Amino acid sequence: MLNIQTTIAIIGAGPSGLLLGQLLAKQGIENIIIERVSGSHVLGRIRAGILEQGIVGLAEQAGVAKRMQQEGKLHDGFEIADGDTRIRIDIKAHTGSSVMCYGQTELTKDLMEARESNGLTTYYEASEVELHDITNSPSITFTCQGERFRLNCEYIAGCDGFHGVSRASIPAHNRQEFERVYPFGWLGVLSDTPPVNHELIYARSERGFSLCSMRSSTRSRYYIQVPTYDKVENWSDDLFWNELKKRIPAEMARRLITGPSIEKSIAPLRSFVCEPMQYGKLFLVGDAAHIVPPTGAKGLNLAASDVNALIQVLQRIYLHNDKSAVGHYSPLALRRVWHGERFSWWLSNMLHNFEGEDVDELQNVTHNGPNRSTMFERFMESERRYFLYTEEGHKVIATQYVGMPYEELQ
């Protein structure tokens, strides 16, 4: 076994791990990343593309914002369609801020290239990754290119996603997990066709939710809500486009330019949080600690705010020789995580069809007629009437969509 050493061991070369590694290196704090798959496999994942100003700022600090500024598009608003009614949420007017439309995959690529050009160490295609002595003198053993390694470190950042090894390395009696699984998923299609609109459209219709998004002026990303039991092979491109046209406003359907899908997949929707987000000298970051339904575009943005919280703690330790803040990471990160979780859950409830699904205790209604509506659905109708059709409601949506300001470590 080869013994190697670093200050911060990062598990996972997704956006969380790469952004953390880059920001640590900028501060002169040594780090090594261990990643289960190849770099090209990481870049092959199709992910969302709406960035809050917070992560744009972190990308600038990390020295990887150049291509984003050149190729990304600032969006000052987005639309919510309620049936055929198009409602614009003017986030610039309500918050003074905008969001950046730039694919997560592109940002991951920029981070990966920066890490490589800075000569920082990443072990790709690592297997048998195990954490040891997390509460005292942590190390990680792993196999890479047939060699066994032990990486000795001072702290471990578990940036290894929902299915990673880090969260599972915290004893079950030391963590509490909160989970809500939704009774539907999103069928997503990527196509080299011009976007139907210059801003995103979140559409609610009697047939179900849909989203019209984009990656560039020539590449679009569309989603439709499907039942959890649905299969991507049930959906030809034509079936997808025809269903999407039935769910978006008629004028949008007329304008929609369809084309062959270059990626098509179904993602389940869940809300998940693990508390606390740290144990001993292990910090959980990003999807390793929490998952949101993609409705609020918060997945990557919450990972970034975790990184911002952790960077502050590690700077306190290594630049100011002050370990007093070590225990502050989890509560600091969780305050913003729960805010993003609640917004994503709330927007998902308001815009998706639950079709009499057994959502929760609001189910108890008397079915004495053909109408299968539930009390929950009546509540959501009332939510839409207020939040989609009043300026106060728009301000609430806009403020949360652009993201609450990052909290500074006290």
Concerning whether 279 is annotated as a catalytic residue, the answer is no
The verdict on 52 binding ligand APR (CB under 6 A) reads no
Residue 142, judged by CB atoms within 10 A of its CB (0-12, 13-18, 19+), counts as buried
330 lies in the binding site for ligand PHB (CB under 6 A): no
Tokens coding 33 = 């990343």
> Mask 196-235, x = binds ligand APR (CB under 6 A)?
----------------------------------------
Candidates 21, 72, 161, 340: give the one binding ligand APR (CB under 6 A): 161
Q: Which of 29, 89, 297, 309 binds ligand PHB (CB under 6 A)?
A: 297
Determine the residue type at 232.
V
Catalytic residue among 15, 75, 182, 352: 75
What residues are paired with 261 via a beta bridge? 191
Q: Does 138 bind ligand APR (CB under 6 A)?
A: no
Q: How many residues in the shown chain lie near ligand APR by CB under 6 A? A: 27
Cβ 296 vs Cβ 403: under 8 Å: no
What does 290 interact with, of ligand PHB, ligand APR, none (CB < 5 to 8 A by kind)?
none
Interaction residues for ligand APR, span 293-322 (CB under 6 A):
299-300, 303
For residue 24, which of 55, 60, 61, 53 has the smallest C-alpha distance?
A: 61
Residue 15 annotated to the active site = no
Q: What is the dihedral of CA 332, 56, 117, 36, to 10 degrees?
A: 50
The CB-of-270 to ligand PHB minimum distance in angstroms stands at: 15
- The CA distance from 386 to 216, in Å, is 33
CB of 235 to ligand PHB, least distance (A): 17
350 binds, among ligand PHB, ligand APR, none (CB under 5 to 8 A by kind): none
Number of residues that bind ligand PHB (CB under 6 A): 10
User: Is 41 noted as a catalytic residue in this protein?
Assistant: no
Comparing CB distances to ligand PHB, the nearer of 187 and 297 is 297
Examine residue 50 and tell whether it contacts ligand PHB (CB under 6 A). Answer: yes
Rounded Cα–Cα distance for residues 194 and 217 (Å): 5
Task: State yes or no: is 318 an active-site residue.
Answer: no
394 as an active site residue: the answer is no
282-284 vs 155-158, strand pairing mode:
parallel
Interface region with ligand PHB, contact rule CB under 6 A, candidates 114-122, 234-242, 273-281, 293-301: 293-301
Binding mask 198-237 for ligand PHB (x = CB under 6 A): --x----------x-x-------x----------------
Closest-CA residue to 209 (of 229, 232, 228, 184):
184
Dihedral pair phi/psi, residue 167, rounded to 5°: -60, -40
Residue 35 is a binding residue for ligand APR (CB under 6 A) = yes
With CB cut-offs between 5 and 8 Å by kind, which of ligand APR, ligand PHB, none does residue 80 bind? none
CA 27 to chain centre: 26
Q: How many CB atoms lie within 10 A of CB 206?
A: 9
Q: 327: which 2 tokens?
A: 């225990």
Q: Which residue of 8, 13, 58, 226 would you call a contact of ligand APR, by CB under 6 A?
A: 13
Q: Are 150 and 140 in contact (CB under 8 A)?
A: yes
Q: What is the DSSP letter of 331?
A: H
Question: Which of ligand PHB, ligand APR, none binds 311 (CB below 5-8 Å, type-dependent)?
Answer: none
Q: Considering only CA atoms, which of 394, 373, 48, 388 is closest in space to residue 203?
A: 388
Residue 367's Cβ-count burial label (10 Å; 0-12, 13-18, 19+) is: exposed
Nearest to 166 by CA among 86, 279, 56, 258: 279
Asked whether 273 and 125 are in contact (CB, 8 A), the reply is no
Q: Which CB, 15 or 276, lies closer to ligand APR?
A: 15
Tell me if 47 contacts ligand APR by CB under 6 A: yes
Interacting residues toward ligand PHB by CB under 6 A:
48-50, 200, 211, 213, 221, 294-295, 297
Q: Which residues are catalytic?
A: 75, 202, 294, 298, 401
The contact set with ligand APR (CB under 6 A) reads: 11-17, 34-37, 42, 47-48, 104, 126, 129, 159-161, 164-165, 286-287, 299-300, 303
